Amino acid sequence: MTASTFPEVSENRLGVLTPYQIPEPLREVKVENLGDGFIVRAIERLVGSFAASRTFSPRIAPPPDALAVLGTCPAVILAGANQLHDHYTVWPGLTAETLRASHLRLVPFGVGLHGDPGRTDGLSDATKSVLLAMHERIAFSGWRCPHTVAWLARELPQLAPQLLMTGCPVVYDRPLLDGTPFTTTADHVAVTVTERGDFAARETAVLDFVAHRFPRSRRSLVLHQNWSPPTWLELLRHRWLPQPRERLDPYQRLRQHAVRRGFRVVCPADADACMAFYDGVDVHVGSRLHAHLLCLSRSKRSWLVPVDGRSAGIAESLDFPLCRPEALPDALGFDFERVRAAARACWPVMRRFAESLPR
């Protein structure tokens, strides 16, 4: 497998709906997830860059002017992430009737199952209708793991021939596919955390493991979804004048623990800055799936700590372990060439899917 397997692409005429973009009405309650930005950039490697004027969010119903723009596109990419659940309708309020009355051609690209309990018990009638209408206008849809495809095929068996298990686009990059050896150094180790639910015990255990296992390495805690942005003064206090834990919120307590264990807290400005930061990392350990996939795509050793069910299907398809914090020591000898072999096996399906898109 050589670099020539990647298409030569520039800008495209496609539209894209990505949860990475937070619309103005939701900015008080939603925070950008940098991993969603990784997905968009990975799709662009395959189909060309998306124009800002044709990039919108599925978190709200597109306003009429946005719908008019999207209606002129040869296709509108639904860019990845774990969006599929029992009541998924692309954006709130979209119906099959509205879709059929429009000129929209919506194409799922690396979308996966939601992952939370109770969210994938069975597709609602509204969701089935939207998915059926969507597939009337497209040759294939691309889904990020075998669990997602199996679930959809069970719920809507008539769509089975159109459902492709492409994997997540983030994992496909030249270093992994072309055979660049996996890193053997550990000069810089990055940890990512997922501040969702009861996260404190899980994430502090990962930080403690990395501090113990890599005592001489430069260590960074990377925040992908910054719910409580730290100030420079906060981080200075964590190091020199630590406040009592009871006076801190859960996010601040986690950062204080990291700083006192020798980590530098990194808050990338956007997805591009975050991806550039990982260029200087040798090893990744953490609970952010797309940080894990990005590092693997660049032939960097990475171990993923699961938070819920959303990573199980990808782990199965790419043949990597999911490691509870207490199991991390036993996973350090993992042979990452298994991931390369699995990604190369899935890559032709992704190529076939990308080449099937209207241009």
Domain range annotation of the chain: 3-169+344-356, 175-336
> One fold for both 3-169+344-356 and 175-336?
yes
Percent of the chain surpassing pLDDT 70: 97
> In the prediction, which pLDDT does 245 show?
72
DSSP state at residue 87: T
> In the prediction, which pLDDT does 290 show?
98
Helix axes 200-213, 250-260, angle to 10 degrees: 10
- On whether the 3-169+344-356 domain is CATH 3.30.457, my answer is no
- For 241-286, the DSSP string reads SPPPGGGS-HHHHHHHHHHHTTEEEE--SSHHHHHHHHTT-SEEEE
Q: How confident is the model at residue 17 (pLDDT cuts 50, 70, 90)?
A: very high
pTM of the model: 0.95
- In the chain, at which residue ranges do the beta strands (DSSP E only) sit? 15-17, 55-56, 76-79, 106-111, 141-143, 163-165, 188-192, 218-222, 263-266, 283-286, 301-304
Domain 175-336 in CATH: superfamily?
Nitrogenase molybdenum iron protein domain (3.40.50.1980)
Structure confidence by residue, pLDDT tens digits, 163-217 = 999 999 999 999 999 999 999 999 999 999 999 888 999 999 999 999 999 999 9
Reduce the DSSP state of residue 49 to 3 states and report it.
strand
- Residue whose structure tokens are 């990597």: 320
**Averaged over 331-352, what is the pLDDT?**
98
C-beta atoms surrounding 97 within 10 Å:
11
DSSP state at residue 106: E
Structure tokens that stand for 88 in this block:
């998924």
Q: How many residues does the chain have?
A: 359
Structure tokens that stand for 263 in this block:
């980590």
CA atoms within 13 A on the CB side of 358: 16
Q: How confident is the model at residue 5 (pLDDT cuts 50, 70, 90)?
A: low
CA atoms within 13 A on the CB side of 165: 20
**Averaged over 243-256, what is the pLDDT?**
85
Give yes or no for residue 240 having a pLDDT over 70: no
Strand order in the sheet with 263-266: 263-266, 218-222, 188-192, 283-286, 301-304
